[in-house]
């Protein structure tokens, strides 16, 4: 859709918000478009989930706005100007797949895909991300100007940004290296999945995907939802705007100053520090066992093992305590 057409759709929506009942003709005249164009915009808005009644002789009436992270709801709530394009859907397969397709089609940095339900949401290593309606699923196209190995820290940067966003809504969150968001009691509220393409030392694109349980806590390993954490119903558009603002802030700091200055922000929220952990590789092989003692300047997890400190670049972390939970 062109910018002009998008602006007209927003204008149709604003007009519908302001009048009890607007005739197609009045809308067409005030916006300077044909009645056919008005009808097309109304159809498109309905497809996005807006309920718009059309009565013969009376015109159009907006009867409900969906609780969904739709661009026309999210954009006015955002502080940042980082995101040039926001696509919002009620339902999709995986926002990471949608964002990847946009990245491959040269979408600029900051292009976002949002949804409130995913049919095939995924976690790391092909694991499933349960994505019922009422969650927030977001994927952002990033094109960081760093060498490929430096981007390994991106899930942590996005984690800090996500925490900033959820905290602005009143949630107390912790970060579990490398990509989990937890409540202080260890229940999982969200996760981050970064996928990308590089050419040698240059990153072509990275899609940062974030899944947050907002309305419901799915029937998974101990998990929690945002509404329960903050004790009120958070509209999905509000949650999306807060998330995107938080991530834009952390990403801008990382792009400018690198990870080191963000390290304190990560460690302050780190759920693992001081706990006995086992870090495993993709096949379940143990890479390190000991006490997690922090994150280094490049984002690696430091584990104090019997043989001395070990710095972990990647892996799954389980606790070696009675509350052991899978990542
Ligand atoms: C993650 O993987 O935690 C990353 C999840 C990223 C999801 C987002 S949603 C938007 C974007 N589009 C996608 O398709 N994906 C991204 P991992 O660390 O591998 O954790 C997966 C594990 O978390 C599963 O094996 C379950 O144990 C658990 N799990 C699944 N769904 C959950 C949920 N909704 N809430 C809490 N835990 C969940």
Instruction: Judge if the beta carbon of residue 190 lies within 6 A of ligand 1.
Output: no
**In this predicted model, what pLDDT tens digit does every residue of 215-228 receive, in sequence order?**
999 987 799 999 99
Q: Are 223 and 327 in contact (CB under 8 A)?
A: no
Instruction: Judge if the beta carbon of residue 211 lies within 6 A of ligand 1.
Output: yes
Task: Provide mean pLDDT across the span 232-244.
Answer: 98
The beta strands (E) that lie in 56-143 are given as: 59-64, 86-89, 112-115, 135-142
Polymer length in residues for the chain: 327
Which pLDDT score is estimated for 20? 83
Assign 6 a pLDDT band (cuts: 50, 70, 90).
confident
Q: Which residue CA neighbors atom 2 of ligand 1 most closely?
A: 123
C-alpha 128 to ligand 1 mean position (Å) = 6
Specify the range with the lowest mean pLDDT, choosing from 55-69, 118-132, 291-305. 55-69
Q: Which residues, including other chains, have CB under 8 Å from residue 99's CB and lie 6 or more apart?
A: 107, 111, 112, 113, 139, 140, 141, 207, 209
Q: Are 301 and 272 in contact (CB under 8 A)?
A: yes
Share of residues in the chain with pLDDT > 90 (%): 83
Nearest to 280 by CA among 120, 121, 124: 124
| CB hemisphere CA count around 327 (13 angstroms) | 27
| CB hemisphere CA count around 250 (13 angstroms) | 26
Which pLDDT score is estimated for 326? 45
Mean pLDDT, rounded, of the chain:
93
Assign 297 a pLDDT band (cuts: 50, 70, 90).
very high
Q: Which residue has the tokens 């519908």?
A: 16
156 has pLDDT over 70: yes
- Is pTM beyond 0.85? Reply is yes
**In this predicted model, what pLDDT tens digit does every residue of 301-312 receive, in sequence order?**
999 999 999 999
Assign 134 a pLDDT band (cuts: 50, 70, 90).
very high
Rounded Cα distance, 199 and 158, in Å: 22
Assign 321 a pLDDT band (cuts: 50, 70, 90).
low
**In this predicted model, what pLDDT tens digit does every residue of 55-81 receive, in sequence order?**
888 889 999 999 999 999 999 999 999
Q: Are 13 and 44 in contact (CB under 8 A)?
A: no
Instruction: Judge if the beta carbon of residue 95 lies within 6 A of ligand 1.
Output: yes
Task: Provide mean pLDDT across the span 194-203.
Answer: 92
327 has pLDDT over 60: no
Atom of ligand 1 lying closest to residue 115 CA: 10
Rounded Cα distance, 300 and 315, in Å: 10
């Amino acid at each position: 859709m062109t910018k002009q057409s998008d602006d007209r759709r927003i204008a149709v929506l604003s007009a519908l918000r302001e009048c009890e009942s607007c005739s197609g003709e009045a809308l067409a005249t005030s916006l300077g478009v044909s009645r056919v164009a008005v009808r097309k915009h109304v159809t498109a808005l309905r497809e996005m989930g807006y309920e718009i009644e059309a009565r013969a002789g009376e015109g159009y009436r907006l009867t409900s706005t969906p609780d969904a992270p739709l661009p026309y709801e999210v954009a006015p709530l955002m502080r940042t100007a980082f995101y040039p394009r926001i696509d919002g859907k009620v339902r999709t397969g995986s926002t990471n797949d949608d964002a990847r397709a946009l990245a491959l089609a040269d979408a600029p940095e900051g292009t976002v895909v949002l949804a409130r339900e995913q049919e095939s949401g995924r976690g790391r290593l092909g694991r499933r991300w349960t994505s019922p309606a009422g969650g927030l699923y977001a994927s952002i196209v990033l094109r960081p100007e760093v060498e490929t190995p430096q981007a390994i820290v991106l899930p942590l940067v996005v984690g800090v940004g996500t925490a900033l966003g959820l905290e602005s809504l009143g949630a107390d969150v912790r970060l579990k290296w490398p990509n989990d968001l937890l409540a202080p009691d260890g229940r999982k509220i969200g996760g981050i999945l970064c996928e990308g393409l590089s050419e040698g030392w240059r990153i072509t694109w990275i899609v940062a995907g974030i899944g947050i349980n907002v309305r419901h806590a799915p029937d998974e390993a101990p998990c929690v939802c945002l509404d329960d954490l903050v004790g009120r119903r958070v509209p999905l558009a509000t949650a999306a705007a807060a998330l995107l603002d938080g991530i834009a802030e952390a990403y801008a700091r990382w792009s400018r100053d690198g990870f080191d200055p963000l390290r304190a922000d990560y460690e302050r929220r780190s759920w693992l520090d001081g706990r006995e952990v086992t870090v495993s590789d993709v096949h379940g092989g143990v890479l390190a066992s000991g006490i997690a003692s922090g994150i280094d300047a490049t984002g690696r997890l430091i584990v104090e093992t019997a043989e001395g400190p070990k710095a972990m670049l990647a892996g799954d972390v389980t606790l070696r305590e009675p509350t052991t939970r899978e990542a």
